[in-house]
Structure 1
Amino acid sequence: MSETNIKLYLKPVDFSKWKPASWVQSKFSLGKLLEKNQTKLPLEKADIVLLGMEEDRNAVVKGSAKAPNKIRQHLYNLNRISPRFKILDLGNIRIGKTVNDSYYALRDVCSNLVEQGKTVVLLGGSQDLTFGITKAFEANPFNLVNIDPKFDFKKGIKSINSETYLNFIIERQPNLYAQTILGYQNYFVDSLELDYSHELGSELKRLGEIRYDMSNIEPYMRDADVLSFDINAIRLLEAPAQYFGSPNGLYAEEACQIGHYAGMADQLKVAGFFNLVPRLDHDDLSSKLFAQVVWHFLEGAYYRKVETPSKKTDEFNEFLLEIDDIDLPLTFYQSQKTGRWWMKISDEEDTREHIIACTEDDYRLAAQNEIPDRWWKNIRKLNRMQNK
């Protein structure tokens, strides 16, 4: 699909309708930079692309179709990060005659932009749009990370909505390599759902676990291809424009920190922000917060340092650890620049290698002759993909 064909899917932003807040120094704002880039930066030279999608027909509670432009309004007021930031806002994807048409339009646009090496930021809309995003990865394995207070799948359900879309991703996307849910709250999750998630090999981190040390979510983000962020994961007091409405959840600064880690992620290709219902908001508090989460994502992406451990570079320390229950030594890598860690895993025949992000704690466990949980889970995933 050419750039011309992509534009057939889009409704461009009309920057004449954006009125900066009274406190904004307009010439230093992201909105002014995006307005300038709209005419001066060709798509092939952009690193990051903003999109909106006013689609909520499969939402459990309607209203999030109004969110993309509301988030934009406040995002544009924020700092431009850098005057040389190669970012474009391509506007909103036109919704289809049916919701399925919208999913396929989203697939086509994301697929094209990802193939061009762009990072896509999608302002939703309801979270079932995640299904449309993942359809852009039907030809390649991908990792999905969800920020969510609960699990958006229900075993046996055949109709898709904003709380069952994971059924369709897990059951219909054979190239899903890994799926992670961060920030879930255990009182919203049944034990059978937990058991099923473990059977699927999902990575699960409760709200309390990630709050204890937010840096531990970074490796999950580093390996992600798609991020799906549900505003319902944030506590109601700080994000009132949500239909779920829990007194517990992420604090505003934690949500921004997640956005920053996601932006820094080496291979993240599409990040979606969903389920904000403007009519439930107070003083645009939720729109302002999601705008700030997106801004932190953009800042992280601007300063992203892509690192790939390799035998051909001297920028990594390599550690080989012998473990009693494993035939081959466990191999760990540590970046000399950033201090980040990776581990190498191989399939049952030792014919296929895969390097995954990990933490220093994983290395320390292995050094004590204990096999890290991430190693076991990824071995199972690698062998499952090999047997498909």
Structure 2
Amino acid sequence: MGIEWLEPVPLDFSQQWPAETLGASIERNGDELPDLRGARIALIGVPEQRAAAHDVADSVRRALYPLYGGPWDLRVVDLGNLRPGRDRVDTLVAVEELALEVLKYGCIPVFMGAGSDWPLGVYRAYGKMEQTINACLINSRISLGDDYSLPDRSNLLAHLLTHKPFHLFHLSHLAHQSYFVPQSALDLAEKMHLEVHRVGEMQPIHRAEPWLRDADMAIVHNAAVRAADAPAQHEANPNGLSGESFCALLRFAGFSDKLSSLCLTDFVGSRDLDGQNAHLWAQGLWYFIDGVAGRVADFPLRPKSENLKFTVLLPDDQGEMVFYKSPYSLRWWVEVPNNPSENARHQLVPCSMEDYELAQSGSIPNVWWRIVRRGL
């Protein structure tokens, strides 16, 4: 693989870690790269464009490695850190090439670092694989700025939506705060059939599970979490997700059989004076690993015929809704009507048991209107 893009994990992480800790089980890029064959998760640090380039990823490692693992049967490898490029374009190319290589092995690349432009490189890797994907962004703001300039935290979403060739089937945006988002941006998101949910709609937090389960790629911005729990932000924000909710969302993402990449972004290392934010990311990664370890090969890995099928007639002779329930995880999906065969991976849309119960009572759940609105 592209070893020229990578710097080994620093030597101080090669110490003898106590038994059962993640540091004792994670295979590190030291004298040689770990073998990706059979690995489930690959950790990769993304540099800042400054002298102390790897402070963020290494601070997260210092908090992650001492944690004790669960009853997991999976391999996690740490590929080290991307070498700082000459500019942001170099970093984008490096992220793209590494993501492509890791994805080809059926391994989940987990990128973590400063900045928020580089997830575009992960998206471009899917394009090289000619795979149409669903993406989920979690951020306090909706980054629909000018896409004519280089990608950054103000326009990442715009770049994802306009990048050619188009390989984005659907996009969900979670946890925005209304006072940070102009109405014109919300109107544009509506016209583009994006699924947008403000932070207040995500309570209780399990309501967000189906939205994350629908994603192939998840991008989680540090700014989505309130500053009391995640102080390493450009602007200290008193509101947002709690640390507990952040960890729950990462577990939902890990447990999804569809999700194949994760990006943790926008960590301002100079503001994490006592390492609190690094510990939050480390604990979030623990929950992500726990989710991946608990996967049960639900849809799209298992055909829908292996699920329990429930048909609900719509009121006023509007047709029917077909729901599926997994006997393995007890999760629910609703079938997309008249879904073209080339989008078979997206023919079932995740939903909740409450959506099924609402349909049974004679009301059409919001998930159905979202499917109809985006013209599937």
Superposed CA deviations along residues 53-104 of structure 1, whole A, max 9, x for unmatched, are 10458xxxx9885311111111111113347531110111223333222212
1:346-357 equivalence runs, <5 A: 346-347=337-338, 354-357=347-350
**In the aligned structure 2, how far is the partner of 1:352 from the partner of 1:240?**
41
Say whether residues 1:239 and 2:235 are aligned partners.
no
Mark the runs of 5 or more structure 2 residues left unpaired by the alignment: none
Identity between Structure 1 and Structure 2 (%): 27
User: Normalising by structure 2, what TM-score?
Assistant: 0.89
Q: Is the CA contact 1:145–1:181 (under 8 Å) kept in the aligned structure 2?
A: yes
Q: Secondary structure at the match of 1:219?
A: helix
**In the aligned structure 1, how far is the partner of 2:168 from the partner of 2:78?**
28
Q: Which of the residues 101, 117, 121 maps onto 1:112?
A: 101
Aligned to 2:168: 176
Q: Secondary structure at the match of 2:175?
A: strand
Q: Is the CA contact 1:47–1:118 (under 8 Å) kept in the aligned structure 2?
A: yes
Task: Say which is worse superposed, 26-35 or 304-313, in terms of deviation.
Answer: 304-313
Count matched residues: 368
1:270-309 equivalence runs, <5 A: 270-308=261-299
**In the aligned structure 2, how far is the partner of 1:36 from the partner of 1:100?**
27
Superposed CA deviations along residues 231-273 of structure 1, whole A, max 9, x for unmatched, are 1111111221111211111111111111111111111111111
* Root mean square deviation of aligned Cα: 2.7
Q: Is the CA contact 1:65–1:125 (under 8 Å) kept in the aligned structure 2?
A: no
Q: 1:87 to 1:170 in 2, by over 3 A?
A: same
**In the aligned structure 2, how far is the partner of 1:279 from the partner of 1:351?**
47
Matching residue's letter, 2:355: D
**In the aligned structure 2, how far is the partner of 1:78 from the partner of 1:175?**
37
Q: Is the CA contact 2:36–2:105 (under 8 Å) kept in the aligned structure 1?
A: no
Matching residue's letter, 1:28: E
Task: Say which is worse superposed, 11-20 or 295-304, in terms of deviation.
Answer: 11-20
- List structure 1 segments (4+ residues) > 4 angstroms apart after TM superposition: 17-20, 35-41, 62-65, 324-328, 348-353
Q: Which of the residues 119, 135, 153 maps onto 1:162?
A: 153
Q: 1:42 to 1:64 in 2, by over 3 A?
A: closer
Superposed CA deviations along residues 22-66 of structure 1, whole A, max 9, x for unmatched, are xxx722211121257977963202111111110458xxxx98853
Q: Is the CA contact 1:53–1:122 (under 8 Å) kept in the aligned structure 2?
A: yes
Superposed CA deviations along residues 125-144 of structure 1, whole A, max 9, x for unmatched, are 21111111111111121111
Q: Secondary structure at the match of 2:259?
A: coil
After TM superposition, give the deviation of residue 148 of structure 1 in Å.
0.7
Q: 1:132 to 1:193 in 2, by over 3 A?
A: same
User: Normalising by structure 1, what TM-score?
Assistant: 0.86
Q: 1:302 to 1:350 in 2, by over 3 A?
A: closer
After TM superposition, give the deviation of residue 153 of structure 1 in Å.
1.7
Superposed CA deviations along residues 216-237 of structure 1, whole A, max 9, x for unmatched, are 1111111111111111111111
Mark the runs of 5 or more structure 1 residues left unpaired by the alignment: 384-388
Aligned to 1:386: none
1:249-288 equivalence runs, <5 A: 249-288=240-279
Q: Is the CA contact 1:66–1:125 (under 8 Å) kept in the aligned structure 2?
A: no
Q: Secondary structure at the match of 1:122?
A: strand
1:186-225 equivalence runs, <5 A: 186-210=178-202, 212-225=203-216
**In the aligned structure 2, how far is the partner of 1:270 from the partner of 1:125?**
17
After TM superposition, give the deviation of residue 336 of structure 1 in Å.
2.1
Q: 1:32 to 1:341 in 2, by over 3 A?
A: same
Q: Which of the residues 9, 21, 28 maps onto 1:29?
A: 21
Q: Secondary structure at the match of 1:26?
A: coil
**In the aligned structure 2, how far is the partner of 1:44 from the partner of 1:75?**
23
1:369-388 equivalence runs, <5 A: 369-381=362-374, 383=376
Aligned to 2:113: 124
